[in-house]
């Protein structure tokens, strides 16, 4: 009994090769970006960033001031109650 793979079938071999290559191409195309809309990187103004940093520093200094005032007031009241 002869094996099917050993028979010289030129047309069958050619069809199978073309089928496998088309399947590979289809799989590759699935993962490729067809519409590669490459957007340019967003540009930010350095002045906006610097202003944002200054505003954050002001808020942090206010928070520190409020915390130290609250802590001082708490210690003062604690001292009045105990003594």
Residue 60 lies in a domain: yes
Q: What is the pLDDT of residues 23-58, one digit of tens each?
A: 777 777 777 766 666 677 778 789 999 999 999 999
Q: What is the pLDDT of residues 59-78, one digit of tens each?
A: 999 999 999 999 999 999 99
- The number of distinct structural domains making up the chain is 1
* CA distance linking residue 58 with residue 50, whole number of Å: 12
Q: What is the pLDDT of residues 14-24, one digit of tens each?
A: 555 555 667 77
State the residue range of the domain holding 83: 44-83
User: What pLDDT sits at residue 42?
Assistant: 79
Residue 15 lies in a domain: no
Residue 20 lies in a domain: no
Residue 64 lies in a domain: yes
Residue 55 lies in a domain: yes
Residue 58 lies in a domain: yes
Burial 54-75 (b: 16+ CB within 10 A, else e): eeeeeeeeeeeeeeeeeeeeee
Residue 29 lies in a domain: no
* CA distance linking residue 61 with residue 69, whole number of Å: 12
The full DSSP string for 21-63 is HHHHHHHHHHHS-SS---PPPP---HHHHHHHHHHHHHHHHHH
Residue 2 lies in a domain: no
């Amino acid at each position: 009994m002869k094996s099917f793979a050993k028979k010289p079938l030129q047309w069958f071999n050619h069809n199978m090769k073309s089928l496998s290559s088309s399947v590979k191409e289809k799989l590759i195309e699935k993962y490729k970006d067809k519409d590669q809309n490459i957007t340019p990187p967003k540009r930010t103004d350095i002045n906006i960033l610097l202003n944002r940093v200054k505003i954050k520093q002001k808020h942090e200094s206010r928070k520190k001031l409020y915390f130290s005032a609250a802590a001082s007031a708490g210690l003062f009241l604690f001292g009045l109650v105990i003594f």
